[in-house]
Amino acid sequence: MQSFRTELENPIVEKEIIALERNIRLFQDGKIDNDKFRSLRLARGIYGQRQPGVQMVRIKLPHGQVNVNQLGRICDVSDSYATGNLHITTRQDIQIHFVSLARTPQLWAELAQDGITLREACGNTVRNITASPMAGIDPDEPFDVTPYAQGFFEYLVRNPICQEMGRKFKITFSSSSKDTSFVYANDIGFIPKVKIENGQEVRGFKVFVGGSLGAQPYIANLVSEFMHEDLIIPFAESIIRVFDRYGERTKRNKARLKYLIQDIGIEELLRLAEGERLALKSKVYKINRETAPVKLPPETIYEAQCSDPLKYELWLKTNVFAQKQEGYHAIGLKIQNGDIKTPIARKLGNLVRHVAADDIRFTHSQGILLKYVRTENLLYVFEELNKLGLANPGFESVADVTSCPGTDTCNLGISNSTGITRELERVILEEYPDLIYNRDITIKISGCINACGQHALASIGFHGSSMKIGKMIAPALQVLLGGGSTGDGHGVAADKVIKLPSKRGPHALRTILDDYQANAYENELFNQYYQRQGKIYFYDLLTPLANQETVTADDFIDWGHTEAYKPEIGVGECAGVMIDLIATLLYDAEDKLTNAKESLEAGDYADSIYYSYAAFIHCAKAILTAEGIKTNTQAGIIKDYDEQLIATGKISSPVSFSKMVYQINENEPSKEFATYYLEQAGLFKKQAVEYRQAQLAVS
């Protein structure tokens, strides 16, 4: 099992927690503006909820892995600071809700005692590094990708190259060509490959770039069939640096890597990335393959009497998977809506201590995977899980619907996603019970178009919406069909087919499944059937359900509510808001120079150089903003400073700003260059302050 001591042993953590507490006081005293404070807390996993005055806290769990002690710690924190509920996300994090802002520093400090972090769980950062939950035990894997996912987390967390990007950035590792981690929907995705050179096995990865979900899904571009394992971190760093410099920063809905690729092309992106290589901290980076030894369960064999033979047989067929390690099995736990209460989670942890490896994985489908359960103990484990309500058959089947919290807590939720999820699962279990064996059809639901429930990756997807019916507004669902993996890193985004009142979602599901069962060819998979029939066929099939002339009063009441529906959408915080206040920009530049100096003294020359680069950018943006010149990308700021200020004579400079700044790509990250670059950035900051003071004096 991977070591989790990184956060606990890092001396920076205590400093960051103290700084968070100080910034909360400054914000509450009105000494930090709201936009600035929002960016600070988001990068520390603290996200505003739909309900005023409370926060959602996202706990960052690389590749969804926790040990029993960590699970207990998270339960303690949820009981003390939140509601005693753990919400598993589709990116293998844990979220807790209704947390007081003032208590978040202490919450973080308690998590850090077991090596757990909030750092960069939200905001314009590299988000949680995800990986296939079966990694390490997958019979189809060439090798275990867990150390590589962990290596990426350790390399990128707190890395200056990805603290203030235009938007979030997502990276994943699939364990095999079956792509259970959705490589094609991530900014960078890796699939493990091996080849033989001179009689030796060489590890590498098939690499994809630019995938994303959201309102406009984009399938990732294949950029390498085989990239050596020692090159994947330098490659990723170069892509992140390009995204940071050239990515959109004004229009949030156009600020993902996919849009930069659409603007400049994948070839130009790779060319720019190659231009970053000289500035990288490491041209090759050897990830430590050795993880901490797997802590296997005791050899004890437990006796048990089967209380429900039929359920046990169903459970064995749908929730139990043979590992590549002979004599051991993995067990999938179906967690409805991804929500598990802390008393149940604690009892689960205690069970794991006795019968499974100390290696619990949260899954992309909001479930839980246990590992290394001995074949002889399967009946005992079933009985114990059944007592906890965690032995329901159908793990990752049609009856295991993925959903985000939607309007329960999220500012961006348009209509309810949790209540409709429970209803669809009830329909499957009661009316289509044989589908608990079906892992081909996936159902995923999001509360809005932003796809936290991954609806675009589903065979049958829904996202929350609203629709005007006469003079009233009804909660609605957009129906999407035909999405999912096609294998080895490739995939298809689901098609938007039709929008209908939310209360008709179950009827729509019945209509789709009945049609498929009646008309599909023998052994024809659902997505194959969808492609054969086509989008128009399904639009016509579902059109009667969208007929507004047949609406009832119930259609105007959302799932889980009794009152009439009212669309209430708050301000989203999926990424931080840009700060344009001139004084704040200059303050930020000073902060970056302090970081650059500290990194230089610590011998982290590449980090020091990037902090100095960021100081240059903040100062230039401050002066451009002071002159009323709108700014966007970092590359645009550099260009505009030369054209609007130096070329016009407003600012005198012996060299162009671009020549000064782009030295970052022309020099190795040495002590000498880091020292020189920091000095130049300091002088530029001094000039920017003097320019602003003179400007204010005149005004």
Q: What is the mean pLDDT of residues 237-249?
A: 97
Q: What is the pLDDT of residues 525-559, one digit of tens each?
A: 999 999 999 999 999 999 999 999 999 999 999 99
Smallest CA-to-CA distance from 281 within 673, 685, 683 is with 673
**Sign of the torsion formed by the C-alpha atoms of 298, 303, 306 and 310:** positive
Look at 571 and 531; give whichever has higher pLDDT: 531
Q: What is the pLDDT of residue 252?
A: 84
Q: What is the pLDDT of residue 3?
A: 41
What is the pTM assigned to this prediction? 0.94
Which amino acid makes up residue 323?
Answer: Q
CA dist 661 and 195 (Å) reads 41
**Is a pLDDT exceeding 50 seen at residue 261?**
yes
pLDDT level of residue 402 (50, 70, 90 thresholds): very high
Which residue(s) pair with 203 in the sheet? Answer: 194
* Whether 215 contacts 178, CB under 8 Å: no
Q: What is the mean pLDDT of residues 431-438?
A: 96
pLDDT level of residue 573 (50, 70, 90 thresholds): low
Please state, rounded to an integer, the average pLDDT across all residues of the chain: 93
Q: Which residues in 527-547 are b (16+ Cβ under 10 Å) and which e?
A: bebbeebeeeebbebbeebbe
Q: What is the pLDDT of residue 409?
A: 86
Q: What is the pLDDT of residue 10?
A: 65
pLDDT level of residue 577 (50, 70, 90 thresholds): very low
- Judging by beta carbons within 10 Å of its beta carbon (0-12, 13-18, 19+), is residue 294 exposed, middle or buried? middle
pLDDT level of residue 473 (50, 70, 90 thresholds): very high
CA dist 47 and 411 (Å) reads 10
Q: What is the pLDDT of residue 8?
A: 54
Q: What is the pLDDT of residue 570?
A: 53
pLDDT level of residue 579 (50, 70, 90 thresholds): very low
pLDDT level of residue 582 (50, 70, 90 thresholds): confident
Q: What is the pLDDT of residue 4?
A: 42
Q: What is the pLDDT of residues 615-650, one digit of tens each?
A: 999 999 999 999 999 999 999 999 999 999 999 999
* Whether 584 contacts 649, CB under 8 Å: no
Domains (range + CATH), the chain: 1-66+83-123 (no CATH), 125-291 (3.30.413.10), 309-387 (3.90.480.10), 402-556 (3.30.413.10), 582-698 (1.20.120.330)
**Is a pLDDT exceeding 90 seen at residue 33?**
no
Which amino acid makes up residue 405?
Answer: P
Q: What is the mean pLDDT of residues 116-127?
A: 94
Q: What is the mean pLDDT of residues 79-99?
A: 97
pLDDT level of residue 433 (50, 70, 90 thresholds): very high
Q: What is the pLDDT of residue 7?
A: 59
**Is a pLDDT exceeding 80 seen at residue 84?**
yes
Q: What percent of the chain has pLDDT over 90?
A: 84
Q: What is the pLDDT of residues 348-388, one digit of tens each?
A: 999 999 999 999 999 999 999 999 999 999 999 999 999 99
